[in-house]
Structure 1
């Protein structure tokens, strides 16, 4: 009798898990649970303000992928869990499983006073479209961009895209002949933001900001936002447009379960991506808190590595074997600036940060095409 496997989510980790599970078990009964049967390619949000990409370019319908891999789809949202994970409660009813992969992503922390005055780009296409529209209408002033973390979960942050928006906007405004009239500012409560990328990368990022005449406001706790203003313990400064990436925590529905949680609210997992103390329940990507170095990133590449390990271990456990597959802690990204890119790679044994190269911008575009080909 085929095993029933449920996957919660439709992002990078969920789809990688689905592909690997199907490859490892051709007869498994796999169900994907998500609000919509589509993948939003978040890494290319950075190209929306300039028009290099349009919203439709980033939305990939999954009907063909699901059909080709014989994967069922349930259009709904997870709301809870029962029977130690054997039943997922959803907005369209309970879904039973023999094995489960939780890959639904995280949730941004929106407790900062006045956060409604900021644009949160990694929430998806709509806020970045608002940024594009507001930037087009701005004749002069300041665009301030920054990010913060989860004080209880150092790994639960995503700062890389903010650097890309920052450098990309600088390139865009120069192309449009508007850079002299519009200032750019970067803010962060840490004195050394970007240090998780490695010391060499941090130096290159700071040097790039100086070269591009980007003002920096670092090392002061954020107090909140007001219309036209960023407030910190070190003072406040004007900002006509505020772009902010908050830290992440677990999804609200996690509170309706007895899943083990980290101090930052994510699902606690072991080195095999298995949820602590659970059988045949795995987590991958932003939803999980994993053992590893303190710089281990929340990014698509890391989510893919975790999802592949989770799939292999789940198949092993369903066959009566112990999970043994671990994942590599690896930070890999190209910090893009519309016309060039800085390649950054960090592992537990090495660190690399190349200077911005035009070649890397092309590589990032080609990777997008290659990655999405399997789902289009």
Structure 2
């Protein structure tokens, strides 16, 4: 009998559990450690923040699903991993032993690295549904008393798509309320250029996003380092390519949403051989940790080096499709180990993204996600918005049923068939 444990029950952890089940023997046991029993669909958080969704519409009770699938769900959360002892200490002081461990915790949100940043300070966030609900209350106050808005992502951030999404979703809602003319908007980002996305761009994301901002009268500051946030004011340095300060900005705001930098969670951070200095789990080409070969990692908690040097630190995003490839490879590799074989499956690390802008959007396809690429394509259109809405419904329906499948791949490639769209548009 093998004890297989997954830490985390977000996108990567939940999918990991579903895909592991078919790999297990009849006497093996699968446990998932989670902070509570509710899963929420993170890509919908920007919609929650402007009132287009209620939080209960994007939440799933994992206790019911896991019980139906005979997966043990431990809702105490993980306090600390002890790799040399093959055990995880839980939040209530008890411990769970494992033969194989998958770290799928997602990140810790490093709001504390910048004074005044985050929901406990002076800016909003869409990283968690709790934050998005708080952001909705702040948005209602903005609508009642319009003023300047600052949206973006700070130094060290590795997730830029939701910042662009929220910028344009907020802009769309302000236009619908006939308030846009009273709300100057500025986008502040650590990226070296608009549309970099931590990926050195995909297709013409630079041109597409800059064009969208110009059309919507949004100003932007790139190579931005946020030094502090005060009530109603953000202090920003704009750096030159050599790292020197090119310009300083004091940006007034009535509302701000800034994505923070990420770091590894406390349960694994600082464990020699397991994580890097930032606390992200080090893995090989099979998603396996070299120092502790019975530990795997998937999702945002995985250590990936930056694409290249930038004036302001910029991380690499882990998109849903990329995470799915990590999950599938890890499930197959643990399955191989359980059968006495060595891991051989490698994730593709391709990226497919649908970025909703409220009434339009941008889609991109990067194969692989890290350049140079075999496919490097992006496109803009109203169809992206409707595709994102359709995918949300599709994904939540499948998750509530506990079905294990590569959601992004099946939906985007089979239903929208972006690869064929590219062929038609380019003639290749």
Distance 2:23 2:289 in 1: 21
Partner SS, residue 399 of structure 2: coil
Query: Tell me, which stretches of 5 or more residues in structure 2 are unaligned?
Result: 238-247, 309-314, 368-372, 401-428
Q: 1:361 to 1:255 in 2, by over 3 A?
A: closer
Deviation at 1:364, TM superposition (A): 0.9
Distance 2:85 2:187 in 1: 43
Q: 2:377 aligns with which of 327, 349, 352?
A: 352
Deviations 1:83-130 (A, max 9, x none): 5362111123110111111101111222112212111220x1222222
Query: TM-score with structure 1 length normalisation?
Result: 0.92
Q: Is the 8 A contact 2:36 2:77 kept in 1?
A: no
Deviation at 1:199, TM superposition (A): 4.9
Deviations 1:55-98 (A, max 9, x none): 11111111332123210111112111225362111123110111
2:88 maps to 88
Distance 1:210 1:83 in 2: 51
Does 1:363 find its partner at 2:387?
yes
Q: 2:149 aligns with which of 138, 143, 152?
A: 143
1:131 maps to 135
Partner SS, residue 184 of structure 2: strand
What are the within-5 Å matches in structure 2 for residues 226-241 of structure 1?
226-233=230-237, 234-241=248-255
Distance 1:80 1:293 in 2: 31
Q: 1:199 to 1:263 in 2, by over 3 A?
A: farther
1:153 maps to none
Q: Is the 8 A contact 1:79 1:256 kept in 2?
A: no
Q: Is the 8 A contact 1:106 1:249 kept in 2?
A: yes
Distance 2:160 2:253 in 1: 19
Partner SS, residue 253 of structure 1: coil
What's the Cα RMSD here? 1.9
Query: TM-score with structure 2 length normalisation?
Result: 0.81
Q: Is the 8 A contact 1:149 1:248 kept in 2?
A: no
Give runs of ≥4 in structure 1 deviating > 3 Å: 255-259, 290-296
Distance 2:41 2:164 in 1: 18
User: How many equivalent residue pairs?
Assistant: 368
Distance 1:33 1:105 in 2: 13
Distance 1:112 1:36 in 2: 28
1:48 maps to 48
Distance 1:165 1:112 in 2: 21
Does 1:120 find its partner at 2:125?
yes
Deviations 1:146-171 (A, max 9, x none): 10342xxxxx6111001000000111
Query: Tell me, which stretches of 5 or more residues in structure 1 are unaligned?
Result: 151-155
1:158 maps to 159
Q: Is the 8 A contact 1:293 1:329 kept in 2?
A: no
Q: Is the 8 A contact 1:270 1:290 kept in 2?
A: no
Distance 2:271 2:154 in 1: 27
